[in-house]
Amino acid sequence: MSKYILNKTWKLNLLFRYLSKYILIQRMNNLFKAFNDPTRREILELLKNGDMIAGDIADHFEMSKPSISHHLDLLKQADLVISVKQGQFINYSLNMTVMDEILAWFVQFKTEVQKEETLVSKVEKPRIRLLINKN
């Protein structure tokens, strides 16, 4: 290959890595912004139990429907929530793929020893016995 093609390929590779990192940072910023608000976290808790329409979600809060719509929009921008229009209603559900990605991202910061300790603690739960004196 010519020197020109190698140089151009190297620059494209570098640009791709930079853009990939930038997109990941932007995505994580959107996720943390979505998690930052207690109302949005509560909406995620509601959706944990199953799909809901916007009106049913709004009924759980003492705020206007446009405010709930704004919170749902931010959750959609972060890809935490999926919306599907069904007739005149919009059905919302959790995007579990993104949840798995978030967990994987957090786990990367654990050391191998911490990961092993976590696995062991899940398997071997300590048992405590209470001895009661009946005297």
Residue-wise pLDDT for 58-99, tens only, equals 999 999 999 999 999 999 999 999 999 989 999 999 998 887
pTM above 0.85, yes or no: no
Give the integer Cα–Cα distance in Å for 98 and 118: 22
Question: What is the spatial distance between Cα 59 and Cα 90, in angstroms, rounded to a whole number?
Answer: 15
The rounded percent of the chain whose pLDDT value lies above 70 is 65
Instruction: Tell me the C-alpha distance between 9 and 14, whole Å.
Output: 9
β-pair partners for 90: 85
Per-residue pLDDT band at 127 (split at 50, 70, 90) = low
- pLDDT tens figures, 94-115: 998 887 887 887 788 777 666 6
